[in-house]
Amino acid sequence: MVSFGFLAMGLGLDAAQHEYPLEMFLPGSDLSPLEASIDEIIAGLTTWQPHAKKRLKQEPAKVTIEGNDYFDALAKLNTTFLKNKWGDGLPVLPATEDQVKWILTGTDLRKDTIIGKIPPLNRIVTVEALAVCLAMTGGRPEYLPVLIATMKAFLNPQLRAVTLQTTTCSVYPVIIVNGPISQQIRLNSGYGCLGPDPAHPAGASIGRALRLAQQDIGGAIPGSGTMALFGGPARYTNIVFAEDEAGLPPGWRPLSVERGFAAGANVVTVHSAATTSNVNTARSSTEKVAVETLNRLARIMAGNYGNIFGDFNDNSSPGVALMPRGIAEGLAELGWTKEKVKAYLWEHSKVPYDVISSDSVIFATGEETFKSYVKVGDPWPLAADPKNIIIVVAGGEQSGHCYWMRYGPGPKNPTSAEIQLPRNWAALLQKAEEDFGPVPAK
């Protein structure tokens, strides 16, 4: 058997295994090594017995880079990273012992605390490993609690990280942060919330650190560990932003509260996206304009059904809809609750049966599933329940646009994790204020 992921299946290090390069599994590859080892593979599958052994702790070797001066050493560092496929194509900063130690002040967890195993290689990710990734992106200690919580949510079995990591679809994580921490660490929820934004650098550093962990620890290297055909610019930093809780209309609950957390809790929610669409809209000043706005969004959702029906279940979410303050406030003033908006989008984004039945690939993967949800001939909804549609208020105070981020293969359901702050949190925020100045008011 191939050792690819066997540790994650509970097999020991002494399990019978044959290791092959991932490139062997590409279309048109030479399969003769598999044929030559077939007898050993059969023996391993039929006769191998486990033998308990004490696991030895291995300390990885440190990388030393020297140059004529700092800039020469930095250039050599980046060349070394690219040669070893450790980088993402963008320059990285050196994760020196002092820098990593500084970032580790952002958590009370021991640096060797294990968060989990990142597929497809299922290598162990520790708190220190996340601090290293964050250091390479220019991150800060106050970002570390968000990154740790994000990794916990990313490795939640419901997110199915192995699929998200390895699929041919160019999918990437979407991380939404709720709670006061978003403003404290300067995570954007307003204009340009999906980046780039030099006034709110946290999202780029956290998202890029997650991507480096996905790649360098998990092994999601294009063309081997990850087979995403196109990749995409969002994969450099993923998407990390905050909900504009100050802009939520009365009665519109934050995403974190909808997902069962207490109001005011610091929470990350992770989903996936494969495509995004900007939707031209207008401020919902009248009921006619409100309906027109929602119809435009619903049409985009219905036409962009993509992978939604492949993993359809009672709690699956078709994607994330962003609404700026102007749209949300206009809808609320006309009596539209968030629940009413979701119900309208759910009903008006159903895909007609004739469209679905003519789409052979989608129809074949979803027909049996949908027999338990709708009658034959009825249109297919994007979610089993309207509440499964994620609506987040973010993107500035105006109107004019909504934004749809459609689900990509991986998650059975979105996942969430509460962010744990260290005891020295106030001191970390004080240092950030000394470096950047006061946190801008929302």
Q: What are the pLDDT digits (tens) for 289-303?
A: 999 999 999 999 999
Question: Exposed (0-12), middle (13-18) or buried (19+): which is 235, by Cβ within 10 Å?
Answer: buried
Judge whether residue 10 has pLDDT over 50: no
The residues that bridge with 322 in the sheet, in sequence order, are 392, 403
Lowest-confidence region among 60-64, 324-328, 378-382, 398-402: 60-64
The whole-angstrom distance between residue 173's C-alpha and the CA centroid of its chain comes to: 2
Instruction: State residue 5's pLDDT score.
Output: 44
Q: Rounded CA gap, 190 and 326, in Å?
A: 12
Sorting pLDDT into bands at 50, 70 and 90, what band is 29?
confident
d(C-alpha 81, C-alpha 33), whole Å: 30
pLDDT band at 7 (very low <50, low <70, confident <90, very high): very low
Structural domain boundaries in the chain: 7-47, 87-254+425-442, 275-407
Average pLDDT for 214-228? 94
Per the prediction, the chain carries an average pLDDT of: 91
Mean pLDDT of the 336-348 span = 98
Least confident of 23-27, 81-85, 150-154, 327-331: 23-27
Region 226-244: what's the mean pLDDT?
Answer: 96
Tell me which long-range contacts 338-342 makes (C-beta under 8 A, separation of at least 24). 338/251, 338/252, 338/253, 338/391, 339/386, 339/387, 341/294, 341/391, 342/386, 342/387, 342/389, 342/391
Encode pLDDT of 415-434 as tens digits. Answer: 999 999 999 999 999 999 99
The dihedral formed by the CA atoms of 298, 304, 309 and 314, expressed in degrees to the nearest 10:
-30
Separation between Cα atoms, residue 143 and residue 175, nearest integer Å: 13
Annotate 150-198 with DSSP letters as a single string.
Answer: HHHHHTSGGG-HHHHHH-SS--EEEEEEESTHHHHTT---STTTTS--T
* CA neighbor of 116 nearest in space, from 42, 214, 13: 214
Mean pLDDT of 354-366: 91
The residue type of 317 is S
Asked whether residue 9 carries a pLDDT value surpassing 50, the answer given is no
The residue to which tokens 């609750």 are assigned? 337
Residue 385 is predicted with a pLDDT of 98
Q: List the beta bridge partners of residue 270.
A: 175, 415
Compute the distance between CA of residue 76 and CA of residue 98 in angstroms, rounded to an integer.
20
What is the rounded distance in angstroms from the CA atom of residue 378 to the CA atom of residue 393? 32
Indicate the DSSP class of residue 410.
S
The identity of residue 324, as a single letter, is P
Is the per-residue pLDDT at 4 higher than 60? no
Cα 48 from Cα 67, distance rounded (Å): 50
Q: Following CA atoms 404, 408, 414, 416 in sequence, which dihedral angle do they give, to the nearest 10 degrees?
A: -90
Percent of the chain at pLDDT exceeding 90: 80
pLDDT of residue 35: 79
Strand partners for 175: 240, 270
Which residue has better confidence, 365 or 420? 420
* Least confident segment among 38-52, 167-181, 254-268, 272-286: 38-52
pTM score: 0.89
Give me the sign of the Cα torsion angle 72, 78, 83, 86: positive
Q: Is the Cβ–Cβ distance between 208 and 135 less than 8 Å?
A: no
- What pLDDT shows up at residue 23? 66
Tell me, what's the pLDDT at 1? 31
Q: How far apart are the first and last CA of the chain?
A: 55
According to the model, what pLDDT value does residue 15 have? Answer: 64
Q: What proportion of the chain, given as a percentage, has pLDDT over 70?
A: 91
pLDDT of residue 8: 41
Cβ atoms of 236 and 179 within 8 Å: the answer is no
With a cut of 90, say whether residue 265 has pLDDT above it.
yes
Going from the C-alpha of 433 to that of each of 180, 185, 347, 440, the distances in angstroms are: 16, 10, 47, 10
Q: Is the pLDDT of residue 25 over 80?
A: no
* Nearest C-alpha neighbor of 329 from the set 243, 252, 241, 442: 252
DSSP 8-state symbol, 55: P
For residue 166, which amino acid is it? T
Check residue 2 and give its pLDDT.
37
Averaged pLDDT, 9-18:
56
- Distance from C-alpha of 31 to C-alpha of 301, rounded to nearest angstrom: 42
